[in-house]
Structure 1
Amino acid sequence: MLSNIEIIARLALSALLGSLVGLERERLLWAAGLRTHMLVAVGACLIMIVSAFGFSDVLSENHVVLDPSRVAAQVVSGIGFLGAGTILLRGEVVRGLTTAASLWAVAAVGLAVGGGLYVAAVATTLIVLIILAGVKPIEEHYQARMQTRPLRLVARTGEMSIDVLQEVTGERSSRIKQFVVRQSGSEGLDEVTVTFVRLSQRSIEAIAERLRQHPGVISVETDVS
């Protein structure tokens, strides 16, 4: 059986490691922040301690065999209920999956500390922090490049076709996702909406500037909502 000091040390370490992950989520103002991650880590740690050492007196009896992993295994499945509470549907976008995953990982950290696997717990915490904070800029950069960017222009009727647009955009013509021409409210003018994909805002501005120089184009807007 563990000493009282060892039990307290394990619980404190799990709270500390959980707080490191929770601080990163708190910085982004998520519902599951500092306290939630600390509670999950400490709770998982205590469950692991109880699972591994809480039945030592019973094991002294004859014909009694216990599997200490059974109680801990319930944490892995049970934490899903808490994680589901952090997942929100905002319009057509699901948010909170990363926070739910971090709660699940923190629960595993707590189990590791409760089982005495300190190196594994600390290493996992560092890896989780690198994933949450270090990989996020890469993810945002990739998502920014993958998002669609519309461009709207007004041109004289018949002056702007897909062939003309491809000639103006050059090598970026392969990034054209949609090309829509509508009759404008003014006679003799067309309203053209072009949607690009995997282009930065700087590239869109460069294309808009080239379109403004085309003789058939009246106006170009890049700030299209």
Structure 2
Amino acid sequence: MRVGLFATCLVDLMRPEIGFSVLKLLEAAGYEVMVPEAQTCCGQPAYNSGERAVSRDLAEKFLREFEMFDYIVVPSGSCGGMIRQHYGDLLHNDPELNGRYERLRERVFELTDFLVNVARVQTLPSSFSGHVTYHDSCSGLRELGVKQQPRELLSRLPGVQLTEMKDCEACCGFGGTFSVKYGNISTAIVDEKCANIKASGADTVVLGDLGCILNIEGRLRRTGDSSTRVLHIAQVLAGDA
């Protein structure tokens, strides 16, 4: 089975090590993994800004680059949600493109959902240990139903102690362009999230979306917290943290 890895533009530009952790996990699960070199953005920033022509072009580009794979795996709930829930809105007026999209759509999975429900992994290449709390990223939770999957995978690491924080499903305040347009509101939201992380007693917060990582880690560091680790779940599961 061939898996196409959509690394996401944030991972590619900001934290490429996350992409290598994803690759390690997929190969350990027995899949042949391909990473199309021409891949760029899923189109979500343009879509959320009303730039439908740009986001439609990116949706069509994604189809060309990924429709040949048995599965497409995305280490991001927001990008996965864009592809699975919103490409249809962009392509529905073109029967040929929409048909191709509908055939591809059911093969697109967020990383932890794929590992649990498709690959059905029982063992993980990780000896990570620590006291963690988990932040549910908005798009992964609400658009893709990613909730128990990451927790099930973390439970397979005997060295992990998971403590749920208060309001683990509440937004971190990033929201893509929201954090740029409404900086004061975003800051107030992420301050609540950081307070809940600290109150959990965990020394590490784990999550599945790099936008949330950048927002939470950035705020923790700016407010003087230099010790709380902020990790993508792929890094934990692959033993790369």
TM-score bucket (shorter structure): under 0.3
TM-score by length of 2: 0.25
Higher RCO, Cα 8 Å, sep 6+: 2
TM-score by length of 1: 0.27
Instruction: Pick the structure with greater CA Rg.
Output: 1
